[in-house]
Chains A and B, each alone.
Chain A
Amino acid sequence: MKTGAALVAALLLALNLGALVAVALRAEHSAGWGGADWAALRFTLWQAALSALFSVALAIPVARALARRRFGGRRALIVLMGAPFILPVLVAVVGLLALLGRNGILNDLLGLVGLPRLQIYGLHGVVLAHVFLNLPLSVRLLLQGWARIPSEHLRLQAALGFGGLARFRLIEAPMLARILPGTLGVVFLICLTSFAVALTLGGGPRATTLELAIYQAFRFDFDLGRAALLAAVQAGVGLAALLLLARLALPEAGAVGMDRPAPAPPGGLARALDATAIGLAALFLLAPLTLVILRGLPYVAGLPPVIWWATGRSLLVAGASVLLLALFAGLLTAAALRRTWPEILGASALLASPLVIGTGLFLMVNPWIDPQRLALPVTALVNAAMALPFVLRALIPAARRAEADFARLSASLGLSPLAHWRLVLWPRLRRPAGFALGLGAALSLGDLGVIVLFAQTGSETLPMEMHRLLGAYRSGDSSGAAVLLLGLSLGAFVALERLIGGRDAEA
Chain B
Amino acid sequence: MLRLEKTDITLGSFRLQADLSIADGARVAVMGPSGAGKSTLIGAVAGFVPLRSGQVLWDETRIDTLAPAKRPLSILFQDNNLLPHLSVFDNVALGVDPNLRLKPDQRAAVMQALAETGLDGLEARKPGQLSGGQISRAGLARVLLRARPVILLDEPFAALGPALKRQMLDLVARIADETGATVLMITHDPGDARRLCDEILLVADGVAHPPAPTEALLADPPPALKAYLG
Q: Shortest Cβ distance from B58 into chain A, in angstroms? A: 15
Q: Is the CB of B84 within 8 A of A416?
A: no
Q: A414-B69, A506-B85 are in contact. Are A409 and B98 (CB under 8 A)?
A: no
Q: Is the CB of A409 within 8 A of B85?
A: no
Q: Is the CB of B85 within 8 A of A427?
A: yes
Tally chain A residues at the interface, Cβ within 8 Å. 18
Interface check A415, CB cutoff 8 A: yes
Contacts of B84 in A (CB 8 A): 506-507
The residue from A411, A415, A416, A505 contacting B85, defined by CB atoms under 8 A apart: A505
One digit per residue, 1 when the CB lies within 8 angstroms of any chain B CB and 0 when it does not, for chain A 403-441 equals: 001101101111110010001100110000000000000
Q: Shortest Cβ distance from B42 into chain A, in angstroms? A: 11
One digit per residue, 1 when the CB lies within 8 angstroms of any chain A CB and 0 when it does not, for chain B 111-142 equals: 00000000000000010100000000000000
Q: Is the CB of B47 within 8 A of A507?
A: no
Q: Shortest Cβ distance from A83 into chain B, in angstroms? A: 28
CA–CA, A416 and B80, complex, Å: 19
Q: Is the CB of A419 within 8 A of B98?
A: yes
CA–CA, A416 and B69, complex, Å: 10
Q: A408-B68, A408-B77, A507-B128 are in contact. Are A415 and B98 (CB under 8 A)?
A: yes
Q: Is the CB of B83 within 8 A of A411?
A: no
Q: Is the CB of A427 within 8 A of B126?
A: no
Counting chain B CB atoms within 10 Å of each CB, the highest count among A406, A412, A427, A505 belongs to A412
* Interface bracket on B: 20 to 34
Q: Is the CB of B77 within 8 A of A409?
A: yes
The residue from A405, A412, A414, A416 contacting B75, defined by CB atoms under 8 A apart: A412
Q: Shortest Cβ distance from A430 into chain B, in angstroms? A: 9
Q: Is the CB of B99 within 8 A of A412?
A: no
CA–CA, A409 and B138, complex, Å: 14
The residue from A409, A414, A427, A428 contacting B67, defined by CB atoms under 8 A apart: A414
Contacts of A423 in B (CB 8 A): 83, 86, 94, 98, 100
Closest residue on chain A to residue B154 by CB atoms: A408
Contacts of B47 in A (CB 8 A): 411-412
Q: Shortest Cβ distance from B152 into chain A, in angstroms? A: 9
One digit per residue, 1 when the CB lies within 8 angstroms of any chain A CB and 0 when it does not, for chain B 66-78 equals: 0111100011010
Interface check B46, CB cutoff 8 A: yes
Q: Shortest Cβ distance from A414 into chain B, in angstroms? A: 3
Q: Is the CB of A412 within 8 A of B46?
A: yes
Q: Which of B38-54 contact A (CB under 8 A)?
A: 46-48
Interface check B37, CB cutoff 8 A: no
Q: Shortest Cβ distance from B108 into chain A, in angstroms? A: 20
CA–CA, A415 and B48, complex, Å: 15
Contacts of A411 in B (CB 8 A): 47-48, 67-69
Q: Is the CB of B46 within 8 A of A414?
A: no
Q: Shortest Cβ distance from B190 into chain A, in angstroms? A: 28
One digit per residue, 1 when the CB lies within 8 angstroms of any chain A CB and 0 when it does not, for chain B 173-198 equals: 00000000000000000000000000
Residues of chain B whose beta carbon lies under 8 Å from any beta carbon of chain A: 46-48, 67-70, 74-75, 77, 80-81, 83-86, 94-95, 98-100, 126, 128
Chosen A-B contacts, 22 in total, with CB atoms closer than 8 Å, are A405-B80, A406-B83, A408-B48, A408-B75, A412-B46, A412-B68, A412-B74, A412-B75, A413-B95, A414-B67, A414-B68, A415-B69, A415-B98, A416-B98, A419-B99, A423-B98, A423-B100, A424-B83, A427-B83, A428-B85, A505-B85, A507-B85
